[in-house]
């Protein structure tokens, strides 16, 4: 994993609803020198993939890159292998992984990302970079045919859109309680609760938290640990 260049965003919209704006400088730096981005729209369920690709194309156009949806051709895996960078959008993580597996794109993305091709994911696109889907917030609307194993570009799990919000009168489990359940069943795992507005910048063995908010690290048998923005976390998350 020495060549990894990953930008793993918790979310795509800022509090005003602007698309891929809060991370614009990070995207510009990450995609510097890139001409063609292969966009994977498979997490989109309530949006046509052509429309999803157009939205991402419009958002990234000021960076001088061309965005091509991998669904548009006969060989989506070949489109991934030919591109200068890969972007995987948010939506339903189960639908994303199931389609990645069925089309053969999963292996192509893993191969290219581990070889150092820049990878950008947001929400579901960040969760699928982890070893499994186990820490997604999404409803399992489909069953991935090859199970929950995902790209494995990092050795830890991400819980995107992490929040401690607990509405008055709400009787369901909090996000922290859900993640504690995950760690009971998966005691070896490490989970980063990544709030909206934050992202992880992964360069080889270096992993840096960026954004405006502290994140939270969850490990079995340990108190949750606050992770401060701009902290270098490679040893903490993967050591």
For 14-51, write each residue's pLDDT tens digit: 999 999 999 999 999 999 999 999 999 999 999 999 99
Residues 190 and 182: beta-carbon distance below 8 Å: no
CATH of the domain at 108: 3.40.50.880
Please state whether beta strands 215-219 and 225-227 pair in parallel, antiparallel, or not at all (unpaired): antiparallel
Task: List the structure tokens of 38.
Answer: 């292969």
Per-state percent for the chain, helix, strand, coil, to nearest 5? 30, 25, 45
Q: Comparing 30-34, 171-175, 220-224, which segment has the lowest mean pLDDT? A: 171-175
Phi and psi at 178, nearest 5°, equal -65, -45
Active site residue 71: no
- Which among 22, 30, 71, 123 is annotated as catalytic? 123
At residue 1, the pLDDT reads 72
Active site residue 149: no
Task: Report CA 111 to chain centroid distance, whole Å.
Answer: 17
| Count of domains forming the chain | 1
pLDDT band at 224; cut points 50, 70, 90:
very high
The domain containing residue 137 runs over which residues? 5-237
Phi and psi at 176, nearest 5°, equal -60, -40
Mean pLDDT of 106-119: 98
Between CA 35 and CA 211 the distance in angstroms is 26
- Which among 12, 138, 198, 201 is annotated as catalytic? 138
Task: List the structure tokens of 81.
Answer: 């292998």
At residue 72, the pLDDT reads 95
Between CA 151 and CA 166 the distance in angstroms is 32
At residue 164, the pLDDT reads 84
- List b or e across 114-141, with b for residues whose CB sees 16 or more CB atoms inside 10 angstroms: beebbbbbbbbbbbbbbbbbbbbebeee
- Which among 75, 149, 161, 213 is annotated as catalytic? 161
Mean pLDDT of 119-142: 98
* DSSP character at residue 17: -
From residue 106, how far is each of 24, 66, 102, 134 by CA, in Å?
26, 22, 9, 17
* DSSP character at residue 224: -
- What digits encode the pLDDT tens for the residues 67-81? 999 999 999 999 999
Q: At what angle do helices 93-103 and 105-114 cross, to 10 degrees?
A: 90
* pLDDT for 176 beyond 90: yes
Between CA 214 and CA 56 the distance in angstroms is 27
Active site residue 138: yes
């Amino acid at each position: 994993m020495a060549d990894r260049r990953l930008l793993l965003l918790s979310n795509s919209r800022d509090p005003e609803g602007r698309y891929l704006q809060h991370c614009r400088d990070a995207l510009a730096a990450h995609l510097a020198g890139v001409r063609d981005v292969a966009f994977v729209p498979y997490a989109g369920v309530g949006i046509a993939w052509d429309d999803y690709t157009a939205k991402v194309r419009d958002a990234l156009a000021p960076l001088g890159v061309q965005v091509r949806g991998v669904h548009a051709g006969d060989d989506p895996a070949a489109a991934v292998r030919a591109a200068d960078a890969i972007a995987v959008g948010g939506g339903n993580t189960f639908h994303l992984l199931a389609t990645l597996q069925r089309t053969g794109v999963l292996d192509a993305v893993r191969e290219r990302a581990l070889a150092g091709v820049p990878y950008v994911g947001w929400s579901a696109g960040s969760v699928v970079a982890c070893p499994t889907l186990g820490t997604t917030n999404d409803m399992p609307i489909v069953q991935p045919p090859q199970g929950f194993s995902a790209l494995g570009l990092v050795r830890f799990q991400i819980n995107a859109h992490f929040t401690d919000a607990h509405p008055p009168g709400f009787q369901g489990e909090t996000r922290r309680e859900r993640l504690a359940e995950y760690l009971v069943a998966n005691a070896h795992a490490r989970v980063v609760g990544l709030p909206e507005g934050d992202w992880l910048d992964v360069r080889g063995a270096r992993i840096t938290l960026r954004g405006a908010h502290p994140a939270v690290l969850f490990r079995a048998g340990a108190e949750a640990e606050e992770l401060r923005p701009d902290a270098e976390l490679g040893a903490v998350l993967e050591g």
